[in-house]
Structure 1
Amino acid sequence: MFFAMHFPFLFLALTLTAGILFSSLLSPSLQSLVPASIASLVCAWISFFLFRKIKLSLIFILLTTFLLGSSFYTYREKKYEENTLHKFQASSYADFYGTLYKSPSKSQNRDFLFIKVEKISYLNKEEKISGNLRVSVLHTSESSPLFDLYVHDRVKVSAKITSFKGFRNFNKPSMNIYLKSLNIHNRAFAKSPLLVEKLNSEKNFSPLRLISIFRQKLQQKIEIYFSGPEKNSISPQGAVLEALLLGERGRIDESTTRSLQKSGLYHLFAISGAHIAIISFLFFSFFKVLRIPTRLSYLLLMLFLVFYAFLVEGRPSVLRATIMTLAFLLGKLMWRNV
């Protein structure tokens, strides 16, 4: 109890994690968790304000945090499983209408579109369905790449829903778990870029769209300076540069991937805290050379890190590292000894 009193946030984080783990293993009902959370919170309030039992109130607060973590996980699972797009199944091609919420992701023989679906046209019937859809679009060396699609573009894609069946041991297929972690409710397949149609023509200059345009232009420049032997292809050096800058590892060829895995360097191409630390060091050193005041350097670095986190489109490892770095730099701006 002594440690809980002196390190409350540590124990709150541990009990929240324990609640999430509890729900992932036992799947309790949301109807029982919510009243229990409210009752535990009321008990904590009564213990502290009426009876002045600090230790007892702390126990109830920890119990409330546990139940809130369990409730949050259960609610998220229920919402995902009951999503209309997740339930949607079709044996043939359907037309999906929606908005891109991420830039297209590129691989060696296909592109991936991430669409926030608004409605579906199937068997001459339109139905309003919401959810996040990942569409795999096959392409060849002769087909045009999807470089003219950006975040917030409205699109129509003719695609076929892909089955969620996959390799498994005793649990759900790993692809299901991966898609759920990305909040992708379903996935589909289109055999040609010709089945992708851009609907909106008006200009949209939202910050996310501007960053998406910059990202696509950067990828185009990499393709120009590191072009491959085929049309619209990229050299192994360009694919490695693209992975280091943007975290796009889909166009690294198999031989390069095997070499990196054997050498133990493949993890460097997953943008994470190490990249944020290197970027922070290089930029701060550059600002020092230019003799920019320290506090202004902190502020400029914070702005760039926010921009970079959006440029790589919110990868979890980058978000964690960026948030921690921003908290440290903000502390340096507000106080000196951090």
Structure 2
Amino acid sequence: MTVNVQLGLTAVIVAVAGATPRLVVVRSGFEIPESHRTGAEPPPHRDALPGAAFEPERWRTLQEGVRAVAEGLSGLTLRYVEQLYTFGDRFRDPHELFGGPRSMTVGYLALVRDDPLGGDAEAEWRDLYDHFPWEDWRDERPALLDTVILPALDRWVRTGEDEAARVRRRERVQMAFGTDDWDAERVLDRYELLYEAGLVVEAHRDRQLESLAGAEDGRPPLREMPRALGRPMARDGRRVAATALARLRGKLKYRPIVFELLPPTFTLHQLQQVVEALSGARLHKQNFRRLMLTAGLVEPTGAFESQTGGRPAELYRFRRQAIHERTSARAIPEA
């Protein structure tokens, strides 16, 4: 049997506005075909990541294609671009359920400075933590961990088919959501666990769509009702975005990519805000400043920012030669 496969390109475009990490979403155009509508179908999720089919006759490389697609849809100039992963799960794109091709997409992380959107689509900035509220620990431990997520995961563990399955589930929960040793980089592990346990809306939406199309695969029904755990996205958008956030948090430790999100000159307070926004954690102010200066990643410009509401703050710039001086060192030392 011949399977028609379409290769796509998807971009997770990230910026930081003040203390708010943001990503670009565009409007999804998917509609359930009239022939399959029953009146009880799930509502379409309109927040989608910028993306399009790869056009091999038009673009020499995948990165050339993703830049053209993302910049055309958002009106932004991409700065740092990095390939993430190829996403190709069956039915990841609901068009496949209703006769469309098998969809595979190459995901990319793209960093930009915070600028107004334009482009050819109805693009909007969205707070990244609207989609992943359990990932933001800057002010305090997110309350929904104890009120919703962990109790629901405990019930999921107890519904394992046998003791071995329950042990495996318990270990996964402890690794992903271990509150004594929270690993900020396990963003994707946490989202995929919530999806498998049926705690996010997308899990139930995808099962409903498969049922409408007559494509059930024999999986057991989801026991938990979906929760309002973050804003859902079209297709597997949150899985792709979780992959990007995990990669970004990992990169902060050994590559100075954070400077791609800042203007040419900035205060140390602005720099710390951006790092905290992406890591989802607070840093000790004096330790952070001392470490950034001793690491040689920034240098003073001699100018001052007067619009701070208080004493003028000194402006700094990124020392690009530090990339060559510290190839094996931590880019953003842990404060």
Of structures 1 and 2, the one scoring higher in RCO (CA 8 A, sep 6+) is 2
The TM-score normalised by the length of structure 2 is 0.24
The TM-score normalised by the length of structure 1 is 0.24
Greater radius of gyration (CA): 1
